Amino acid sequence: MDSLDDSSFQGGSSHVGGPGSYGAYTFSGTGVDVFAKSGPSINVDGRRHKIGSLKVSIDGSLKADQRLYRTDGDDNINAFTISGLTPGNHVLQVEPDGGWVAIDYITVRGGAAATADPASSTPGHKTNAPSTPTGTSVNDIPDGKTISLLANANRMFVTVSPDPNKPIVAKGKDLGAAQEFVVESQGGGYVTLRSVSNNLYVCVSPVDNALYAVRPAVDKSVAGGELFHWESNQDGTVSLKSYSNQMYLSANVSPSAQLNVGIVLAYRITIADWEKFTVSPR
C-alpha cells in the first residue's frame, strides 16, 4: 500500500491501496486496533476511488472483512480490534476488497507500536511491477532459466495441456516440454512463466482462479494476471503468489476436489504443503 499525505488523518498521512494491494505490519503485543477511513470514496492522485471493505489477517489467519463503504459520512473509525493474543511478535496484514481503503493509524495493546514492513506490496493504482514484498529472495530467482515445478502435495509436475481451454494441472509423472517453463524476472521479486510447449505466458484466470498458458505478451497490470511473486521457503521449496489477486498458487490435489483434482489455482492466502513447489533446473 502507498503512503498518502492528507491533513484529515492523524499525523497528516495514511496508507492507501486498491484491489490487489496489501499492507503488512509487525508488532509485539497481545492485541491491535486498526483505524481506517469510512465513506463513499477517497481522493488519490486527483482521482476519486470508491471505498470498499478491509480484510484483516493476523499471522496468516483471516480475522475480519469489515465493510468501510458508506453512502454518507466521511470519518475515521475503529475498523478492527483483537485482543488476547499470545504475548510476542505478530504480523498484521490488511487488504482492500471490492474497492480502496485508507489506513489512518494502528495501536498495539500490551506491547510496542506496529511498524510497516518496508517490503509490503504496493500495487495500488500502479500498473508496473510493485516493490519487493515480504518473503522475496530476489537472488534465488532463476532468471532466464528453464525449470520444472514439482508439487509437494502429490509429487507430480506442473503440466500445460495442449488444449488452451484446459487449465494447468499438477499431474505430470514424466518430464517434457509440457512440464517446462522459462522464468523471466520482472523486478521487485516478481516473475513471469513462459511455457516451453507453446511459448505462451502463464496467467491466472479472473473467472475461476485457475492457471492457463495462453498469453502471447506480458501485461504487468493487476488485471493481466501474469505476474507472480517468487518466495523461497526455508525447506528449499518455493511458493508463488499471484499479483492479480494476492493469492498463492496451490496444487488442488485433495480427493474432495473430485473432477478438479490436480488443477493449479491461485486461491490460498497462506502457505502449506499444497502451496510449495520444488524447482528442478532443466
By the 8 A CB rule, do 197 and 178 touch? Answer: yes
For residue 72, what pLDDT is reported? 72
pLDDT at position 5 over 50: no
- Please give the class, per CATH, of domain 138-281: mainly beta
pLDDT at position 22 over 60: yes
Distance between CA atoms of residues 30 and 90, nearest Å: 9
Mean pLDDT computed over every residue of the chain: 80
More confident residue, 181 or 95: 181
Given the C-alpha cell 510449495, which residue does it identify? 276
For residue 254, what pLDDT is reported? 57
Residue 11 C-beta-side C-alpha neighbours within 13 Å? 10
Give the residues across from 243 on adjacent strands. Answer: none
For residue 13, what pLDDT is reported? 41
More confident residue, 195 or 128: 195
More confident residue, 107 or 198: 198
For residue 282, what pLDDT is reported? 75
List Cβ<8 Å contacts ≥24 apart for 114-117.
Answer: 114/25, 114/26, 114/27, 114/32, 115/25, 115/26, 115/27, 116/15, 116/23, 116/24, 116/25, 117/23, 117/24, 117/25, 117/26
Given the C-alpha cell 502435495, which residue does it identify? 153
Average pLDDT over residues 205-226: 83
Q: Give me the residue spans of the domains in the chain.
A: 2-116, 138-281
pLDDT at position 250 over 60: yes
Q: Specify the CATH number of the domain 2-116.
A: 2.60.120.260
Helix spans in the chain (H): none
For residue 17, what pLDDT is reported? 80
More confident residue, 93 or 258: 93
User: Tell me, what amino acid is at 227?
Assistant: L
For residue 199, what pLDDT is reported? 96
For residue 169, what pLDDT is reported? 95
pLDDT, one tens digit per residue, over 32-81 is 888 888 888 888 777 888 899 999 988 888 888 888 888 876 667 888 88
